Structure 1
């Protein structure tokens, strides 16, 4: 099994641990970055194009494929799902197709697809100007959610509770999305749809993160994770628990809305990361991405539900149906959190051995390092990393995760 992993613009070393998992699961993995850093992956299986224009990326991929054929192309980056679809099409390899990838990347196009396909979703409106957003508030009332069409990781996503807050947050979001990494890392030369802001009606219930698989006439929910954060006016994905607290009837309702949404987006064969929130007892789609969820959600899925999103991506990339069935929890309790600090430039991060070597951790990853600048809302949404622990209950696992996270020390230069 020879696979090609692609990033139009390299997201530092964020995906290296996932590339290593791909190899542990039996693949010969090559990595192609449009723009990237030397020495990121073994030299004989790593190439940098020197450009993030899609024509240059396709040309480099095609030349490599002619020398040593690939069985499939994949990415773990939200900012490269469209590029991967274009490259796979050019190489004649399995792909969801560019249109489905674009619809699954751009939140406005996604919402339009959900509306057309009958998938439950919040009210939405594209808002090129502040006046458009204020008009939506007048018509729908508050709170509203303001978000980028081409965002990720909750960057510049705000809960808006009043016209005054909209007047404050809207220009912050407009300025922020201009050089937001999740937009600038996209391949050049692709029509990604409108780059701007939308407002959505607020959904007031519980939120759930799902790792799923679309395969022809069925969608399988491999893993369901509860988001248990008490949120404010920003949306940090910072505390999760599995197995889910959903009842069997609620799981069935979530399955229906995810399946309807995936088909509405034109996705027939893909690993999926779906986010669903309940409102007045009914599940609504926040989004369905055509890649696995970030952080430690892939580890959480394996531990709590026996489902491997990474292996699913590998098999889908080469056109082979992954081993998956409908959601079946293992009974192991897990709690995971984002490691969040104040804003500033990092001088040093100290991780005691009692943390890194803890047998109760199922996942631990520090993604920031000395010299990195941490931005917090409203200027960005950077974190230090992720930590997840197991336990006999959610309370037990959460207590362990919290105690271990508290031992990590971060020093700043300012």
Structure 2
């Protein structure tokens, strides 16, 4: 163990998925808010995060292996978890498996099933009157052709079991179906071994026209729910709609219809623990829920909320799983500024150099370069093709008055930094 803090009786807090980029503040929150030791999990010593008190040896994407590691540690030490808290998408079902074994608060199997499978999720939305795109499932190209015949073009294809835009592609006509199917399937199969995904689980849905997309972060605690914040998403256009950034507060922060729909979507899926991330397409008064993830929003959204509103959403996420709230707290609504995150994308080609920025503006808080010299920069089709990330913040009570203008400003700065950092031999040169 890395420090001498004592266990809370015979208990510790187990956090799954906080050891990856832009989730690390979840560790800070856990160490600050839990009165005892905080554990992580990793499959090998290479993955150990030195901020945890202990790191259990297992793959936190594998429910059976993760539970076995927790039980083994209990036999060796007598310590057991006080709560098991998922931070990323693919640890939700693992947290439930461990928590249920120890009789701890967790999501129901039904809620996990509805929030992990985009098909059952949309069926639940339709049953609850939550606006969402019409869809059909498919596993093969012939099945896709049949499904497309029951829907109106344009369509959007995507895997049923994953997030991060992986495999997502817009299809304008029946002639485009074969190539789109191959893209959707190839991107799924590229990550399938890591997450134990099955081939043949896809869906097609009708394209929903919108001017912009937002996400609503909803705190769920038993039968109560509260909106923590609304985020503007920056996305590339079709065919992949790749997310390139987030901004808080959103232009829709004070839109009651958006906030109410975020809550209603969580109710439809039976989510009763922790923060849920609700994605909504906006076109004037027309709203459509894309999907819901039963975990905190990624891409640094929790960090943006913390910086803008002065509280850590992760603190509330843990409190919900630890069952330590008498009622939902009052959520701060007045921003101290406006914050954004942008992902850097080098031109397609071979990265021949990674440089440094000589001088930053006061509004640029951080730059993390994830690509390295010799890497091949791929087309921006999903989160897997990102080459770096930047964080921005403008302070002042009036700074949040024009989110669209601030978004444009950070786009320009991110483009400038991309050109300064990356030297690329582009394809065709």
Q: Does TM, normalized by the shorter one, top 0.5? A: yes
The residue that corresponds to 1:382 in the other structure is: 385
Q: How does 1:168-187 map to 2 (within 5 A)?
A: 168-180=179-191, 183-186=192-195
Q: What is the root-mean-square deviation of aligned Cα atoms in Å? A: 3.2
Q: How does 1:105-120 map to 2 (within 5 A)?
A: 105-120=116-131
**What TM-score do the two structures reach when normalised by structure 2?**
0.81
| 2:32 matches 1:32 | no
When residues 116 and 34 of structure 1 are mapped into structure 2, their CA distance, relative to the original with a 3 A threshold, is farther
Residue aligned with 2:385, SS: coil
Moved more, 239-248 or 256-265: 239-248
CA distance in 2, matches of 1:388, 1:379: 19
When residues 87 and 367 of structure 1 are mapped into structure 2, their CA distance, relative to the original with a 3 A threshold, is farther
Q: How does 1:97-176 map to 2 (within 5 A)?
A: 97-176=108-187
Aligned length: 401
Q: How does 1:337-356 map to 2 (within 5 A)?
A: 337-343=342-348, 346=351, 348-352=353-357, 354-355=359-360
Residue aligned with 2:105, SS: coil
1:271/1:313 contact within 8 Å kept: yes
| 2:204 matches 1:199 | yes
Superposed displacement of residue 63, structure 1: 2.9
Q: Which has the higher contact order (CA 8 A, sep 6+)?
A: 1
Superposed displacement of residue 58, structure 1: 0.6
Q: What are the superposed Cα offsets for residues 86-116 of structure 1, whole Å, 9 maximum, x if unpaired?
A: 1111122221133322321121221122223
Moved more, 207-216 or 372-381: 372-381
Residue aligned with 2:72, SS: helix
Q: How does 1:14-413 map to 2 (within 5 A)?
A: 14=21, 17-23=24-30, 25-27=32-34, 28-34=37-43, 37-41=46-50, 45-49=54-58, 53-65=62-74, 67=77, 68-180=79-191, 183-186=192-195, 196-205=201-210, 206-229=212-235, 231-246=237-252, 248=254, 251-279=255-283, 281-321=285-325, 324-325=329-330, 328-330=333-335, 332-343=337-348, 346=351, 348-352=353-357, 354-355=359-360, 359-362=362-365, 364-369=367-372, 374-376=377-379, 381-391=384-394, 392=399, 393-394=402-403, 395-396=405-406, 398-400=408-410, 402-403=412-413, 406-408=416-418, 409-411=421-423
When residues 221 and 247 of structure 1 are mapped into structure 2, their CA distance, relative to the original with a 3 A threshold, is closer
1:389/1:401 contact within 8 Å kept: no
**What TM-score do the two structures reach when normalised by structure 1?**
0.84
CA distance in 1, matches of 2:381, 2:32: 39
Superposed displacement of residue 30, structure 1: 1.2
When residues 312 and 197 of structure 1 are mapped into structure 2, their CA distance, relative to the original with a 3 A threshold, is same
2:246/2:301 contact within 8 Å kept: no
When residues 49 and 3 of structure 1 are mapped into structure 2, their CA distance, relative to the original with a 3 A threshold, is same
When residues 44 and 326 of structure 1 are mapped into structure 2, their CA distance, relative to the original with a 3 A threshold, is closer
Moved more, 119-128 or 62-71: 62-71
Q: What are the superposed Cα offsets for residues 105-149 of structure 1, whole Å, 9 maximum, x if unpaired?
A: 121221122223332211011012223333343433211111111
Q: What are the superposed Cα offsets for residues 221-250 of structure 1, whole Å, 9 maximum, x if unpaired?
A: 1111122445121111114333222274xx
Residue aligned with 1:4, SS: strand
Residue aligned with 2:231, SS: strand
| Larger gyration radius, structure 1 or structure 2 | 2
Superposed displacement of residue 193, structure 1: 8.8
Residue aligned with 1:287, SS: strand
When residues 255 and 51 of structure 1 are mapped into structure 2, their CA distance, relative to the original with a 3 A threshold, is closer
- In structure 2, the gaps of 5 or more residues are 1-7
The residue that corresponds to 1:6 in the other structure is: 16
